[in-house]
Copies of this chain bind each other. A is one copy, B any other.
Amino acid sequence: MTNPAAKAPAWRKALAPRAAGVVYAFIALLAVLTITSSAQGRPSYLSSVNLSNILEQSALIGILAIFMTVVLISGNFDLSVASTAALAGTVALKLIDGNGTFVAVLAAIACGALVGLVNALLVQKVGVNAFIVTLGTLTAVRGVVQAILDGKSITAHNTALLDFSTGRWELPVAVALVIGVALIALAVVLAVRSGAVREKLVAAWPLWLAGLLVLAIAGFRPNLLDQAVPVWIMIGLALVASLVLRFTVIGRNLYAVGGNAEAARLSGINVDRYKMGAFVLNGVLAAVVGVLYAGRFNSVDPTVLTGGELTVIAAAVLGGTSLFGGSGVVVKSVIGTLILFTLSNGFNVLNIGSNYQNVVQGTVLVAAASLYTATSQRDRALFRKRVARKAPAEPAPVLTKTGA
């Protein structure tokens, strides 16, 4: 019945371009930029400073991409994040001088939750298409921002937000070493416990690779352990979201709801709750991003983050998230974000003329996505042929019984 030779082992699947394509694309992009940059005699592209810059520049969009991925997994769509963030930032800065940081941040987050809730109700309860609902809230919420700011940019005097969101935090090298070792150890323990050591060890590559990465950073680029607060927040949220999606009932149900809402509903899952929850969560996190964004300059203006929603969705889709729901991996969306920002960072570092940046960016975007779509298909085709050739291994006993 089973043809074991024909089956790809788990690690092969995990490493296939189809699954890890965005990682390869990111590595390829970094390699190209590093080589070009050193060929031009510029300082190392992979310097701590430059890498930190990329991370810092990506952090806020990265956070948005994480929760956009959650919404997309749940089978919905949210265009309103950038406007929501702008609203939250505006509210926070408007209130912070008069009412203190706590009230300001709370109010901002409440605004985000409210927008999320409105989206959720209109989409799930009234049944309007998510695209049109969130396009509507995108517009309306931006209008509210414009009405509040009346064409002016505002700056707060209370620097609490500024200090927080431009602050840096350094992970002690010792802690990093411990984390790195722990990750690798975990991978080994898991592999040993399961028996099939070699295979499991390869399958657990994200684990030990992350461990190695942490060790490498701690050893060779300790400066990278000193990052801006938003970067740590992004890393933390990506970790938490990944763990929840992967290892909890909530995560499992979310994928089910997005994959086949009807099957999920008949399996006893409260579909509305999950889909609405994703919207509200997205609104709240958009608000957090808005507050961090406003804090970065302690100032907002009415056009803040305009058009950011497309970047966020692009990052998620580049990370392989399906627009039809039911699939997506938040870490890959974060890597998708990193690709986008590495690209524009590369333009700056290589000083590519701004007229050509869009041409290159668009091409790289499509090329990255094509590359791993195409390879994963070729992969399959190749694979198919190989198996076909060795197929008729066992000559089958055909019982003919042609009578008459």
Interface residues of A (CB under 8 A from B): 122, 126-129, 131-133, 135-144, 146-147, 150-151, 307, 310, 313-314, 317-318, 322-324, 354-363, 365-366, 369-370, 373-374, 377
Contact = CB atoms under 8 A, between A and B. Distances in A.
Given A126-B374, A131-B317, A135-B365, A140 B307 contact: no
A126 B359 contact: no
B369 A132 contact: yes
A126 B314 contact: no
A216 to B, nearest CB: 31
B370 A129 contact: no
A361 B139 CA distance: 7
Given A139-B361, A140-B358, A144-B359, A373 B324 contact: no
A127 B21 CA distance: 14
A140 B359 CA distance: 4
A144 B362 CA distance: 10
A140 B361 contact: yes
A132 B137 CA distance: 23
Given A126-B370, A366-B140, A150 B359 contact: no
A313 B131 contact: yes
B362 A128 contact: no
Given A122-B370, A132-B366, A133-B369, 19 more contacts: A126-B373, A126-B374, A128-B366, A128-B370, A129-B322, A132-B318, A135-B310, A135-B314, A136-B363, A136-B366, A137-B366, A138-B362, A139-B361, A140-B358, A140-B359, A143-B355, A143-B360, A147-B359, A150-B355
A12 B272 CA distance: 31
Query: How many copies of this kind of chain does the complex include?
Result: 2
A143 to B, nearest CB: 3
Nearest to A377: B127
Contacts of A365: 132, 135-136, 139
B373 A127 contact: yes
Contact of A358 (B142, B150, B310, B377): B142
A-B interface, 6 closest residue pairs, ranked by CB to CB distance from nearest: A140-B362, A143-B358, A139-B362, A143-B359, A136-B366, A136-B365
